[in-house]
Each structure stands twice: as C-alpha cells, then as structure tokens.
Structure 1
Amino acid sequence: MKLFYSPSSPFVRKVMIAAHELGLVDRLERQPAAAHPVKRDASIRAENPLGQVPTLVTDGGLVLFDSRVICEYLDAQGGGALFGSGETRWRNLAGAAMGDGLLNAALLARYEGAVRPEALRWSDWADGQMSKVTDVLAVLDRTAPAFGDRVDIATITLACALGYLDFRYPALDWRRDHPAAAAWYAAFAERPSMVATQPRD
C-alpha cells in the first residue's frame, strides 16, 4: 500500500498510529508529499483531486482519503476494533469527529497566520477557530477520565489533536486549565505508536 505522507500532518499521524496499533505499518510504502492549501502537490492530485495528505493507494489500486476512511480500511485489513460496532461505534465516531474538528480549527487558524498574506489576515477568523479548540478542550477535560486504557479511533484522533497543539502552538498552555485531559494525554503519549510518530517539519 502506498501512503502519500507528510511527517508534520496530524491526519497522517493518525493513520500511522492506527497502522502501528494494527501491526500494518511495515505494509505502508511512504510517499513523501508536499500538501499545501495554495501550492498544491501535483503528485498527490494525480491520485486525489483534493491534493491532500493522507491519501492511500491500496494494493488493489483503490484510492482512499481522508484519514478516517483510511483508518477504517486499515482496521478492516488488520482485523482490529478501532471503530467497534453498535453503540461503541457511534461513540468512537463522535469522539473522532470532535478530534478532527479541533484539528481542522487549529489548522485553519495556523494557515491564517502562516500562509495568508499579512495584509489579508483576519484576527477575528483566527480567534473564532481557536475558540472551537477551547470548547473541545473543555469537553475533553470532562470526559477523558472515563477513557481508561481505550485505544480506538476516538482516543487516537484526540491524542493526535493534543499532540498537534503541542507541535504548532507551543505557547498555548492548554494543560493549565485542563488537568484531566493533560493526565490522560501524558499516559497515552507513552504508547510506542505515539512515540514512533512524533511530528516534525
């Protein structure tokens, strides 16, 4: 399987963590890619019209995106239970959507400051996105104590989201006001899959 890959992407990291947890990481051929919201990578666009990472090309030639779809495909290939069934599946999907929402908001705020020309930046837009981050952190602080030792698409996605905040927003002291979320993340971040997928530029 070929994975269009960027070591700084939290969505790629989510796929890589799932692959590690499912014992499939050695089956992924990582294809370096330079996804960008403006300067779009032609090599990705040849497979995925959105030009985004992660994009997975299966051994059978099927092209899959986005990260949640790829993770579900890997889960099926590895015989895992990252998504679950019945009520557990809906719980896991809802948690993953919350983590993805935090990531999308944090990415949009970052693009506003790092990609958009300074004369066109809108601080209210960035503030609005970061308020979503704050709201998700508040919910996560209330719910994280019940996670226990769960390893599923929800906890993986939420851990990637918190890791992204550390990576791109080092001045954001999210742990100060969210000690329960911080305690859960500290334990989850010690998993070998998390250690092996630390983001980098």
Structure 2
Amino acid sequence: MMQLFLNTTSPFARVVRVVALEKGLADQLTLVSADPWNHDPALLAVHPQLRIPVLITPEGSAIAESLLIAQYLDMVGTGPALVPAAHAAAVLARTSVAYGLMEAAFHVVIGRKYEGMQADTSVMGQRRLTSIGRVLQQLESASPTPLADHATLDTITTAVALDYVRFRLPALFATQAYPQLHQWLNQAQQQPHLAHTRFA
C-alpha cells in the first residue's frame, strides 16, 4: 500500500489522484488529509518541506512534488504511458506550460489569503497575474490537446490547472474571453477520473 498526503483543494494533489486512477493504482492508495499551513505533525514527520502532495511508497520512500510522483506512478502502474515515448518532448512541453499556470494561480490564491488583494500589487503578484493571462491566451489560441480515451500527462495537468483557475480565480477566466478553453474544460470534466476528483 501507498499513502498520499493531500488536501482536496490542492491542484497538485489532484493531478496525482487523477494519475493514480489512470494507472489503476487507486485501490493501493490511502489518502491522508494534511494541513501544510499549520505545521501538521504527521506531514512534517514524513517530509521536511511541509508541502503537499507527498507520496509514501511501499518501501517507505517519501516523494514530494506532483510531477515526480506522477512519474513514479506512471512507472509502477498499468495501462498506456502518460508520457508516450513517441511524443515525449511535446507532451512534456505542454505539461510545463500547464504546470506553470497551476503554480502561478496557486501563489496568487495563497498571497491573497495571507496578504489580501494588496498581494496582487507586489512585483511577484503582478508577474503571476501577467503569467496567468499569457498562458490562458496561448492555450486559447492553440487549443489544448484533443481529449482521448487514455489521458496523457499534459491533458491531465492542463485540465486540473484550468479548473483550478475557474474554481479559485474565476474573474481571470471569463467564458467570453476564453470560449474554446471553457468548451474543452467542460468536456474534460466529464471524463471519469477528473469528475471523481473535482475540487470541493
């Protein structure tokens, strides 16, 4: 058995949960709710950085960072590879853009939580908001990868990142401004593993 330390509103943890479902590992995964912002002792006991998600492997190794966890689950799980060898560079390139969107959105949310809306006026706040806008424009212009029966890491990360922005920062993701992205995301959200892990 494996343990996954997480909370249900973390986009990074959701990526891992979707990957675990895609790779047929959900029944081998025990979900452990954790609060990294309150020095959760159980989380601190397994990883010094107090970050989620953290995966504890059957051997007892603690892996942090969602993309590293996804890589591990892709190796030990079943089914098609999340990063197909024939298209690895393209899949990873798209994943990096979506992951950057997720990180920028997450830090805007955290900044506002602890500093209020004035966090947006700082140098870093402005950089993050600008980054979010650029990525959304790029994805709207290029359109994300078409959905297939078997998800790849880029489609998983893109769907989770976009849904997180819609969930936490809806003013930045107006339907009128990004109609193609909203259409794509609505279709993606119907896929069982994304539907099962919706933000709560």
TM-score, shorter chain, exceeding 0.5: yes
Contact 1:145 1:180 in 2 (8 A): no
Q: Kindly provide the CA deviation profile for residues 41-95 of structure 1, in whole angstroms up to 9, marking residues without a partner as x.
A: 2321221221111100001111112100111111111133101214x11211111
What is the alpha-carbon distance in structure 1 between the residues aligned to residue 5 and residue 53 of structure 2? 6
Contact 1:3 1:57 in 2 (8 A): yes
Q: Which amino acid aligns with 1:187?
A: Q
1:27 aligns with 2:40: no
Aligned pairs for 1:36-51 (under 5 A) are 36=37, 39-51=38-50
SS of the residue corresponding to residue 46 of structure 2 reads: coil
1:193 aligns with 2:193: yes
Instruction: Quote the offset at 1:163 in angstroms.
Output: 0.8
What is the alpha-carbon distance in structure 2 between the residues aligned to residue 155 and residue 146 of structure 1? 7
SS of the residue corresponding to residue 3 of structure 1 reads: strand
89-98 vs 145-154, greater mean Cα deviation: 145-154
Contact 1:189 1:195 in 2 (8 A): yes
Which residue matches 2:121?
123
1:58 aligns with 2:57: yes
What is the alpha-carbon distance in structure 1 between the residues aligned to residue 70 and residue 144 of structure 2? 25
What is the alpha-carbon distance in structure 1 between the residues aligned to residue 108 and residue 144 of structure 2? 28
Which residue matches 1:17?
18
Task: Identify if the C-alpha distance between structure 1 residues 76 and 113 changes in structure 2 by more than 3 Å, giving closer, same or farther.
Answer: same
Instruction: Quote the offset at 1:138 in angstroms.
Output: 1.1
Instruction: Quote the offset at 1:98 in angstroms.
Output: 1.0
Contact 2:101 2:131 in 1 (8 A): yes
What stretches of structure 1 of length at least 5 have no aligned partner? none
Contact 1:42 1:51 in 2 (8 A): no
What is the alpha-carbon distance in structure 1 between the residues aligned to residue 131 and residue 5 of structure 2? 28
What stretches of structure 2 of length at least 5 have no aligned partner? none
Task: Identify if the C-alpha distance between structure 1 residues 182 and 119 changes in structure 2 by more than 3 Å, giving closer, same or farther.
Answer: closer
What is the alpha-carbon distance in structure 1 between the residues aligned to residue 120 and residue 193 of structure 2? 37
Greater RCO, CA 8 A, separation 6+: 1
Instruction: Quote the offset at 1:144 in angstroms.
Output: 2.0
Which residue matches 2:104?
105
Q: How many percent identity over aligned positions?
A: 29
Instruction: Quote the offset at 1:146 in angstroms.
Output: 4.7
What is the alpha-carbon distance in structure 2 between the residues aligned to residue 108 and residue 186 of structure 1? 24
Contact 2:165 2:173 in 1 (8 A): no
Contact 2:133 2:172 in 1 (8 A): no
